[in-house]
Amino acid sequence: QQPVQSPQAVILREGEDAVINCSSSKALYSVHWYRQKHGEAPVFLMILLKGGEQKGHDKISASFNEKKQQSSLYLTASQLSYSGTYFCGTDNDETGSSNTGKLIFGQGTTLQVKP
């Protein structure tokens, strides 16, 4: 039931783009994206709700394909501060009608941005 993230790790140069994918075998109500730096708690990036959303702020955006049960996180013109481990968390409400708040996280994608 754990969503699958790909790739497992990415190494970029500053200014390059990256895409992180999150795929679930269960129907999703929402997908949540977080970034975690070493030794710290995860920081909320964005949530995408059922209905096939796309969302973005600054140079980080995401999409949610409800039918494919997939979400992708897009990082454009990456900065050194983007380094960290990215997690998607899925809310798999059995009825598909509302969020439960209980997130099941993928295994994480480690992103390293080099100067």
What are the residues binding another protein (CB under 8 A)? 2, 30, 32, 34, 40-44, 47, 49, 87, 89, 91, 99, 101-108
User: In this complex, which beta carbon is closest to another protein, that of residue 16 or of residue 93?
Assistant: 93
Residue 38 CA, chain-centre distance (Å), reads 17
Please identify, using beta-carbon distances, which residue of 82 and 87 lies nearer to another protein.
87
CB of 75 to another protein, least distance (A): 20
Q: Map the chain to HEC letters.
A: CCCEEECCEEEEECCCCEEEEEECCCCCCEEEEEEECCCCCCEEEEEEECCCCEEEECCEEEEEECCCCEEEEEECCCCHHHCEEEEEEEECCCCCCCCCCCCEECCCEEEEEEC
Nearer to another protein among residue 14 and residue 98 (C-beta): 98
Query: Identity (one letter) of the amino acid at 17?
Result: D
In angstroms, give the least distance from the CB of 53 to another protein.
12
Task: Compare residues 50 and 72 and give the one whose CB is closer to another protein.
Answer: 50
Rounded least distance, CB 102 to another protein, Å: 6
State in angstroms the smallest separation of the CB of 5 from another protein: 9
